């Protein structure tokens, strides 16, 4: 657990970067600090591993004031990942990841074996270990940065805008990868970003900060989107927050109806769904017999946003639900999905 107790950081030039921050980061969770440029996110993060010290107040890691812990000892238990990975350019990827284990006295052989394990863990092929950082894509470099931070198996991970230098598609992949890793590793992660979409996607709790280093709201993403504390937070989370909050309502309450499958049995002259031998939907047949590509599919149990999108994007007006293997489960109308959303609002 990480605790900020009335933490203020004032720089020598008089800038107050963080002002009276009170906040608890629960162990084993991902907490995201988000806010506009200059609001004190990085400064807050750096007070956890003592790259900066508070002017007043206290930061506690597992109940211990960090000021009572020697910085090198403190940092052994805290991994740190920064934008553009910050890799050593003249060391191979494998040696970059092996750096910390080597520093803690492991033999070169053992450290490299651990590094190879970590590369696999973050989804990189082993042969990349021999390359130098410049020979990797931006996304691959970020993965190496994460592997390096995990090398000493620290319970706490600090991540400062780690994915902001890569394009949006790669970025989503890295976010998914982090969520997958976290499900396995159960670290206490503090993640800094200025991107609210990234924050609500990966944070179990999100701290929205405003310039001057003041905490505006600290809440789970669904609550942030549904009930912003004030106009600043409402403005920051954005105009389509109502729609985005649908990512947090699950669609299991939407009852699927039997699909009008085009298998010769369907009666009437409406739209019919084409389904392959493996029960995977592949498109619609219009009432006039024309073949029309399908809309989006959604997986039963996934957030309701997918179900609504499926119904709205379907040429027939029927959203198509599939199981985890992509096989047809049934169909839903947008009306049904909206009813579930209405009920969830209570
Ligand atoms: N060493 C320093 N001396 C003086 N002021 C500083 C120093 N470091 C940061 N600041 C100021 O403190 C404030 C908070 O900076 P910080 O880097 O924590 O913001 P941030 O929210 O991480 O911003 P960004 O998203 O742009 O990285 C800013 O006004 C910044 O200019």
Alpha helix positions (H), the chain: 41-46, 71-76, 93-103, 108-121, 138-150, 168-185, 196-202, 221-226, 231-237, 241-244, 304-313, 334-345
Question: What letter would DSSP give residue 260?
Answer: -
Considering the chain, tell me which residue range(s) the CATH 3.40.50.300 domain(s) occupy: 2-241
Q: Which atom of ligand 1 is nearest to the CA of 40?
A: 18
Q: Which atom of ligand 1 is nearest to the CA of 43?
A: 18
Ligand 1 site, CB within 6 A: 11, 13, 15, 17, 35, 37-43, 194
- Phi and psi, residue 201, nearest 5°: -75, -40
Q: How far is it, in rounded angstroms, from Cα 58 to Cα 5?
A: 5
Which CATH number, 3.30.70.270, 3.10.580.10, 3.40.1410.10, 3.40.47.10, labels domain 251-345?
Answer: 3.10.580.10
**Percent helix, strand and coil across the chain, each rounded to 5?**
40, 25, 35
pLDDT in tens, 64-107: 999 999 998 898 889 888 876 678 889 999 999 998 888 878 88
Confidence of residue 114 (pLDDT cuts 50, 70, 90): confident
Determine the pLDDT at residue 174: 83
Determine the pLDDT at residue 124: 87
CA of 95 to the centre of ligand 1 (A): 32
Q: Which atom of ligand 1 is nearest to the CA of 44?
A: 18
Determine the pLDDT at residue 264: 61
Q: What angle is formed at CA 241 by the lines to CA 238 and CA 247, rounded to 5 degrees? A: 135
- Whether 269 shows a pLDDT value over 70: the answer reads no
Residue closest by Cα to atom 3 of ligand 1 = 11
Residue closest by Cα to atom 12 of ligand 1 = 17
Q: How far is it, in rounded angstroms, from Cα 217 to Cα 233?
A: 7
Q: Which atom of ligand 1 is nearest to the CA of 35?
A: 21
pLDDT in tens, 33-72: 999 999 999 999 999 999 999 999 999 999 999 999 999 8
Residue closest by Cα to atom 7 of ligand 1 = 11
Q: Does residue 124 sit in helix, strand or coil?
A: coil
Considering the chain, tell me which residue range(s) the CATH 3.10.580.10 domain(s) occupy: 251-345
Determine the pLDDT at residue 266: 53
Residue closest by Cα to atom 14 of ligand 1 = 40
Q: Which atom of ligand 1 is nearest to the CA of 13?
A: 4
5-9, 137-141, 230-234: the lowest-pLDDT one: 137-141
Q: pTM value? A: 0.81
CA of 13 to the centre of ligand 1 (A): 12
Q: Which atom of ligand 1 is nearest to the CA of 45?
A: 18
Determine the pLDDT at residue 107: 87
Torsion of CA 54, 57, 63, 69, to 10 degrees: 40
Contacts of 255 (CB under 8 A, 6+ apart): 332, 336
Nearest to 94 by CA among 147, 57, 30, 47: 147
CA of 225 to the centre of ligand 1 (A): 26
CA of 212 to the centre of ligand 1 (A): 10
Q: Across 11-109, where does the E strand assignment appear? A: 16-25, 30-34, 56-61, 64-65, 78-82
Q: Which atom of ligand 1 is nearest to the CA of 194?
A: 25
Residue closest by Cα to atom 13 of ligand 1 = 17
Q: How far is it, in rounded angstroms, from Cα 38 to Cα 284?
A: 51
Question: What letter would DSSP give residue 217?
Answer: E
Pocket test for ligand 1, best of 14, 15, 214 (most atoms within 8 A of CB): 15
Determine the pLDDT at residue 346: 67
Output the average pLDDT for the chain.
89
Determine the pLDDT at residue 267: 55
Q: Cβ distance 316 to 268 under 8 Å? A: no
Which CATH number, 3.40.50.300, 3.20.20.150, 3.30.56.10, 3.40.50.920, labels domain 2-241?
Answer: 3.40.50.300
- Phi and psi, residue 152, nearest 5°: -90, 10
Pocket test for ligand 1, best of 9, 13, 17, 34 (most atoms within 8 A of CB): 17
pLDDT in tens, 150-198: 887 889 999 999 888 777 777 888 898 889 889 888 999 999 999 998 9
Length of the chain as a residue count: 346
């Amino acid at each position: 657990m990480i605790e900020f107790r009335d933490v203020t950081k004032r720089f020598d030039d008089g800038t107050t970067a963080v002002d009276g921050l009170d906040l608890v980061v629960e162990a084993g969770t991902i907490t995201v600090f988000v806010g506009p440029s200059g609001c004190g996110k990085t400064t807050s993060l750096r007070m956890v591993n003592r790259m900066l010290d508070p002017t007043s107040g206290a930061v506690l890691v597992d109940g211990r004031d960090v000021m009572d812990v020697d910085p090198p000892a403190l940092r052994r238990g805290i991994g740190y990942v920064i934008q553009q990975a910050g890799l050593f350019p003249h060391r191979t990827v494998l040696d970059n990841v092996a750096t910390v284990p080597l520093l803690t006295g492991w033999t070169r052989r053992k450290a490299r074996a651990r590094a190879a394990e970590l590369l696999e863990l973050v989804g990189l092929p082993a042969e990349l270990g021999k390359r130098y950082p410049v020979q990797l894509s931006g996304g691959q470099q970020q993965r190496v940065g994460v592997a390096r931070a995990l090398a000493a198996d620290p319970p706490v991970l600090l991540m400062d805008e780690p994915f902001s230098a890569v394009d949006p598609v790669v970025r989503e992949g890295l976010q998914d990868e982090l969520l997958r890793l976290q499900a396995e590793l159960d670290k206490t992660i503090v993640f800094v970003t200025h991107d609210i979409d990234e924050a609500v996607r990966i944070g179990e709790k999100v701290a929205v900060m405003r310039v001057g280093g003041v905490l505006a709201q600290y809440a789970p993403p669904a609550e942030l989107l549904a009930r912003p504390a004030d106009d600043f937070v409402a403005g920051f989370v954005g105009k389509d927050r109502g729609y985005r909050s649908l990512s947090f309502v699950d669609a299991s309450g939407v009852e699927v109806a039997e699909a009008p499958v085009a298998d010769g049995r369907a009666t009437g002259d409406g739209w019919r769904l084409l389904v392959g031998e493996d029960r995977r939907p592949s498109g619609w047949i219009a009432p006039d017999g024309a073949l029309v590509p399908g809309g989006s599919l959604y997986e039963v149990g996934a957030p309701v946003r997918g179900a609504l999108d499926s119904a709205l994007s379907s040429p027939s007006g029927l959203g198509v639900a599939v199981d985890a293997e992509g096989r047809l489960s049934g169909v839903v109308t947008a009306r049904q999905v909206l009813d579930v959303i209405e009920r969830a609002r209570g």
